[in-house]
A = this chain, B = another copy of it.
Amino acid sequence: MDTCALCAGAPAMEGNRMSLYMGLDIGGTTIKGIIMDEQGCISAENSIPTVCGEGLADCCVELADKLLGAAGIKASELTAVGVDCPGMIDSHHGKVVFAGNLRLKDYPLAKLIKEKLGGVKVRICNDANAAALGEARFGAGKGYRNSVLITLGTGIGGGIVIDGKLFEGFKSAGAEIGHMVIEKNGIPCTCGRKGCFERYASARALELKTKEIMADDTSTAMWKTYTEKTATAKTPFEYMDTDDAAKKIIDWYLKNLACGCVNLANIFRPEVIMIGGGVANQGSRLIDPLQKLVDAELFGGTDYAPVKVCVASLGSKAGEYGAIALALRP
């Protein structure tokens, strides 16, 4: 039996005296899964390649069986299973409404898994929302009732937890925080709008801006180790202390990120905004100036209801933990 990932190495309890939960995190290439008890002790952890299309539920059940075997329990001993999945998910009806990469449309994922696991309770939600729930329950948002996760990647994903509960909007179609316009008539977005937050503050936006500046300014020190083709979102952070062009890119990026953060802070007034994705690995180089910019613009100031900005802490595990948090919901 594995030791526990959350309670400092103490072994998970034997037997089924505690409530046990399974979390499955479906990605485009891999499904990761864990079994955890109510105290956060992990008794099994595994992954298998994702089968796209109609076979997805069987694939989930195959992983579930492996996890149950490793934990030495039966499906009937699970209190609930949480599953997160990319795409448009109707969590209320347990359906994948549409998931392009998984080649699924109107797919009753929760019902299929439930049937194949002998009737155990199964809940599903979108992967970005699950990550927000995971961070809120087990990660950087632990101890707060209201949190927002902003994940900086190719786009901007994320999710919102209000009073301890995942917020998804009507038919689970909300929380599209990357598609909030912060610059009317700005950079065109894949969603059809112009000037979306993710066009200015995603890791991809930072990379594109860096490449654009490098192409325009061959005197910048960034050319020492990168070209306009090899530069990434990390490049300007590496050079920000020694190169003016890099510093300017970071200033531009931080202002954009702060703009979206303050919008979300004014709308949701969470206690904490957690930043996830590769850019968040910059740690205090990102968070410290971002917190200052957010504090300077927060509606009504910071005295009454401050909003903390921090790095998300679960990394690639956020989905699995989120799936567990979904299963844990009363």
Q: Which residues 158-203 of A have a CB within 8 angstroms of B?
A: 162, 167-171, 173-177, 179-184, 186, 191-193, 200
Encode A265-287 as 1/0 by CB contact (under 8 A) with B: 01111110000000000000000
A contacts, CB < 8 Å to B:
88, 97-98, 145-146, 162, 167-171, 173-177, 179-184, 186, 191-193, 200, 255-256, 259, 262-264, 266-271, 296-297, 299-300, 304-305
**Contact A305–B171 (Cβ < 8 Å):** yes
Decide: A175 near B267, CB < 8 A? Known: A170-B146, A184-B256, A191-B299: yes
By a CB distance below 8 angstroms, the chain B residues around A300 are: 88, 173, 176
Ranked 4 nearest A-B pairs via Cβ: A169-B269, A174-B269, A173-B305, A171-B305
B192 touches A268 (CB 8 A): no
From B88, B146, B170, B259, give the contact of A181 (CB < 8 A). B259
Out of B88, B168, B181, B270, which one reaches A182, CB within 8 Å?
A: B181
Chain B residues with CB below 8 A from A179, complex form: 266, 299
A66 to chain B, nearest CB (A): 34
Chain B residues with CB below 8 A from A191, complex form: 297, 299
Q: Are A180 and B263 in contact (CB under 8 A)?
A: yes
Q: How many of these chains are in the complex? A: 2
Q: Within the assembled complex, what's the spacing in Å between the Cα atoms of A300 and B167?
A: 18
CB distance from A77 to the nearest CB of B (A): 32
Q: Give Cα A175 to B266, complex, Å.
A: 7
Per a CB cutoff under 8 Å, which of B171, B182, B256 touches A304? B171
10 contacts between A and B (CB under 8 A): A88-B300, A169-B269, A169-B305, A173-B304, A174-B266, A174-B268, A176-B300, A177-B267, A182-B184, A183-B184
Question: Across the interface, do A174 and B263 meet the contact criterion of CB distance under 8 Å?
Answer: no
Partner of A269, one of B170, B183, B269: B170
Given the complex, which residues of B lie within 8 Å of A296, measured CB to CB? 192
Asked whether, in the complex, the Cβ of A299 is within 8 Å of the Cβ of B176, the reply is yes
For A88, list chain B residues within 8 Å (CB).
300, 304
Which residues from chain B contact A264 at a C-beta distance below 8 Å?
267
Kindly state the separation between the CA atoms of A269 and B176 in the bound complex, as whole angstroms: 9
Residue on B with the closest CB to A270?
Answer: B170
B-chain residues with CB within 8 Å of residue A268 when the two chains form the complex = 169, 174
* Contacting pair A145 B170 (CB below 8 A): yes
Q: Is the CB of A263 within 8 A of B170?
A: no
Complex CA gap A308/B277 in Å reads 34
Chain B residues positioned under 8 Å from A270 (CB to CB) = 169-170
Across the interface, which residues of B come within 8 angstroms of A266, CB to CB?
174, 176-177, 179-180
Are the C-beta atoms of B162 and A146 separated by less than 8 Å? no
Residue among A175, A269, A296 with most chain B CB within 10 A: A269
- Given the complex, which residues of B lie within 8 Å of A145, measured CB to CB? 170
Query: In the complex, A266 Cα to B168 Cα: how many Å?
Result: 11
Q: List 20 additional contacts besides A181-B182, A191-B299, A267-B267; criterion CB under 8 Å.
A: A88-B300, A97-B304, A146-B169, A162-B162, A162-B167, A169-B267, A169-B270, A173-B299, A174-B266, A175-B267, A176-B266, A176-B269, A180-B180, A180-B263, A180-B266, A181-B262, A183-B184, A184-B186, A184-B200, A184-B255
